[in-house]
Structure 1
């Protein structure tokens, strides 16, 4: 090997391992150097372009994996900031609701008039709305009971 090249490599290794300023940029220099080597190999025809794309995608895959592992913590932080609570069942009850069941949920008689239904719904939804600390399930159940009684 050429003595000048050997000396240059030795100085570079010394700077990368001993000097704090150079040590800070060690990863960047290695990535840039690796990219240049891959580019040179592709340009001279010694490396197929597909392998160059794969080599370039590896660092992005590592970063993507970090984001995937961090997702539950990000979701939990967003829930804390917005005050949202995760719910497993956010829909309404399964199956058709009968008029008797709707009246029982709203706490009224089956033959109640629309004004009584509206008042009972408003009273209960004020307590059980998701914005007031209630669940999506209960709000959906109340809405379904109101719709059943009104229609």
Structure 2
């Protein structure tokens, strides 16, 4: 009996700490944390019921795995949809116009990691190497890729195209 009370107290304290942590997050992020909490508690309750013999063990196993499956499936679907939308919008619309670069020569050299007086071949090589590392399709982001492209354009004299 004491062990059950201690276990219940431990769970209540963990819930209290979780809620306090979530309260410190921005309001826009809180909903996702609370949904994860509810799904996790449901899975834990289902596993507990299966351990005590009130639910068949297969149902407990499936229910316990659902939060992990949900996370994987939703991430996969989101990735597919976001890539599909990017491909569809790019093929239907004209390519987006980048705003004119406010980057100067020194900043462009710094972005590409070059020294003043670099040749066109050195600029192109540095650009290619950085884009291979920081391209959005390889785990980089659009901002870094645009900065690298802008730096190349500034150094090769192709401003505002």
**Shorter-normalised TM-score: what interval?**
0.3 to 0.5
Greater relative contact order: 1 or 2 (C-alpha under 8 angstroms, separation 6 or more)? 1
Larger Rg: 1
